[in-house]
Every structure is written in C-alpha cells, then in structure tokens.
C-alpha cells in the first residue's frame, strides 16, 4: 500500500501546481487591459483631431465630446472608462480558455483516449493487469493516473489474504473514487472564472449603458432647449459600445464554459467506464 500512498501524493502535488493562479494573473491582465484602452484605443492616430499629440488622447486637454474618431478603435475608446473593464473581461476569458484547453488536453493523455479505453478493457477481460498498467504509463494524463491507481490497488488486493471478497470490492471502489476526487479539482480549476464572466460581463456592460444614457439626458437637460448634439451622441455611443462589448464577451464566455464542461464530463465518463470494468474484472477473477 506504500505505492498507493505515493501515487496519491503525486496526484495532490499535480493538483496544486496545475493551471494558472488567478491571484497572480488577473492583476497583470488588468494592467494590460488598461494599457490597451489608454495607449492603443486612445492613440491620437485613431482620431481626426489636429494638434492632439503624445502617447494617448487620455493625456490631452481635449474633451471626449470634441474628439472625432477616425477608426473603429477610436470609436471603442469613446465607450468611456468602463471599456477597459470589459477589455479585461475579454482578455481574461481568452487567457483562461487557452489555459483550460491545454490542461484538459494534457489530462486526456498522450494517445487517443477512445483507443486507450478499449485496450484497457480488453486487457482487463483477459486479466492482464500488468499490461494494463503499462498502457496507463504510456497514456499518462488524469485518466491514466486514475486507472493506474485502480489497477495498482487491484494487484495489491488480489494478493491480500486478510480481507474477504466483499471487503476487497469496497476497498477497490474507494481507491478509484479517491483517485478521481484528487484529479477533478485540476480539471475544474478556473472554470468558475468563465462561468462568472458569462454573467458579470453583461451586468458591467449594462452599467456602462446606463452611464452613457445618463450623460445623454444630462446633455439634453443642460442645453436649455437646444440639445448639444456632440454631447448627446457621445452619451448614446458610449451606451451602445459598452452593450456590444459586454454581450460579445458574455456570449464567448458562456460558449467556452459549456464547451470545456462537456470535455470534463467526457473525461469523467471515461474514468467511470474503466473503473466499472476494473471492478467487474476483479469480481470475476478474484
């Protein structure tokens, strides 16, 4: 059983180090998002105004209502300060989606997962446990780790003369469940970020929309009967830009979250499938 403890310790270490740490990554992404808003979207080259120079229009004395966008990036900049928060959300979704893609790809193992399941089940039907362990070593990944843990326990229990068959089956089932439990946090890590942004992005966009509309009505009220067309258009455009960015980010986050959830469910199903085969094989041959 020393091998059992060692394998679980390795899995715990893998769980702790797997994936990006949001506490470290998010502040970095915020700085990047703010830089994109100020220096890329706010680049003077994105506006028609003459005499506006420097690194960004954010540092100029020209008011937003007097800025005249000359490109799509300039139009996005006119969405106001909420835009950089929505940019942060979009970058966060992209970064953690890429991270989840590679983590789940690694979790599936090096070979074709379907072929791995078929090979292991065929070997279990022939009671070739050592060969099945070799397949796990070749496959690696979360599925390979769980199956190897189950097979290692299988071998240990097969040679154990102190337990009856029912006790051995309980111990085998518990071993597979514990190994699966150790692997699941690594698979599901950071999924909550995608799920949260799928909702929060829309709410923040709504906040930007409301702020934009408030500015529009303020422009109407302060005009004394003669609306300031520039201030009015700035408020309306700010509202619509925030709405568009928020809805787009939310849609992408929800799609990616559901995609990765289906991938995790697929891996879990494969683990359960082989786990059931291990238990059936043990019951038949022991």
What does pTM read for this prediction?
0.86
What CA–CA distance (Å, rounded) separates 81 from 220?
Answer: 22
Confidence (pLDDT) at 5: 42
Site of tokens 């997962």: 113
Nearest one of 143, 113, 103 to 271, comparing CA atoms: 143
Confidence (pLDDT) at 204: 96
What CA–CA distance (Å, rounded) separates 241 from 83?
Answer: 8
Within a domain: 53: no
Residue 47, SS3 per DSSP: strand
Confidence (pLDDT) at 245: 95
Within a domain: 51: no
Within a domain: 34: yes
Within a domain: 47: no
How is residue 74 written in tokens?
């300039």
Within a domain: 37: yes
Confidence (pLDDT) at 54: 85
Q: What is the domain count for the chain? A: 1
85-to-66, 99, 197, 239 alpha-carbon distances in Å: 24, 21, 11, 14
Residue 87's domain comprises 2-41+79-285
Confidence (pLDDT) at 7: 44
The neighbour count for residue 269, using CB atoms within 10 Å, is 11
Within a domain: 241: yes
Within a domain: 73: no
The low-confidence residues of the chain, meaning pLDDT below 70, are 1-18, 222-228
Within a domain: 118: yes
């Amino acid at each position: 059983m020393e091998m059992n403890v060692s394998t679980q310790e390795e899995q715990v270490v893998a769980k702790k180090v797997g994936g990006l740490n949001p506490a470290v990554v998010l502040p970095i992404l915020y700085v990047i998002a703010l830089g994109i808003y100020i220096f890329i979207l706010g680049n003077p080259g994105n506006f028609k105004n003459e005499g506006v120079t420097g690194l960004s229009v954010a540092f100029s004395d020209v008011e937003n209502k007097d800025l005249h966008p000359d490109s799509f990036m300039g139009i996005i900049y006119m969405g106001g300060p909420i835009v950089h928060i929505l940019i942060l959300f979009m970058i966060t979704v992209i970064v953690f989606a890429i991270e989840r893609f590679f983590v789940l790809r690694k979790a599936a193992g090096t070979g074709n997962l379907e072929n791995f399941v078929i090979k292991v089940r065929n070997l279990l039907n022939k009671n070739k446990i050592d060969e099945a362990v070799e397949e796990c070593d070749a496959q690696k990944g979360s599925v390979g780790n769980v199956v190897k843990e189950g097979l290692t326990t299988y071998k240990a229990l097969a040679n154990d003369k102190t337990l009856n068959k029912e006790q051995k089956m309980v111990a085998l089932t518990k071993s597979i469940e514990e190994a699966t439990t150790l692997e699941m946090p690594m698979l599901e890590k950071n999924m909550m970020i995608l799920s949260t942004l799928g909702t929060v992005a829309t709410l923040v966009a709504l906040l930007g929309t409301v702020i934009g509309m408030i500015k529009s009505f303020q422009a109407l009220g302060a005009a004394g009967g003669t609306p300031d067309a520039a201030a009015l258009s700035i408020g309306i455009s700010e509202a619509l830009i925030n709405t568009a960015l928020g809805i787009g980010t939310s849609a992408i986050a929800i799609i990616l979250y559901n995609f990765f959830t289906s991938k995790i469910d697929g891996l879990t199903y494969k683990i359960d499938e082989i786990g059931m085969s291990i238990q059936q094989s043990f019951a038949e041959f022991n």
